[in-house]
């Protein structure tokens, strides 16, 4: 069974062609991909691991 993912671009990404990240949630998994290479590789994380990464990245950018 194949599920179509609803991808969301990072709020920090612009439409200027720079580095862009997209995220899609599925039951038990958070998917991440490069928005410039939609058919390219994707990473998959458990929600707790993704949450920990986002919290770390947010704290590191202050």
Per-residue model confidence as pLDDT tens digits over 12-30: 666 666 678 899 999 999 9
User: According to the model, what pLDDT value does residue 55 have?
Assistant: 93
Q: What is the mean pLDDT of the chain?
A: 86
Distance (Å, whole) CA 46 – CA 26 = 10
Cα gap 22→10, rounded to integer Å: 6
Half-sphere exposure of 54 (CA within 13 A, CB side): 14
pLDDT-based confidence at residue 10 (cuts at 50, 70, 90): confident
Residue 2 has pLDDT above 60, yes or no: no
Q: Quick one: pLDDT at residue 29?
A: 96
5: confidence class by pLDDT, cuts 50, 70, 90: very high
């Amino acid at each position: 069974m194949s599920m179509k993912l609803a991808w969301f671009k990072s709020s920090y990404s612009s439409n200027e062609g720079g580095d862009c990240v997209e995220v899609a949630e599925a039951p038990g998994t958070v998917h991440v991909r490069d928005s410039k290479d939609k058919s390219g590789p994707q990473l998959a994380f458990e929600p707790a691991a993704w949450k920990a990464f986002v919290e770390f990245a947010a704290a590191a950018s202050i």
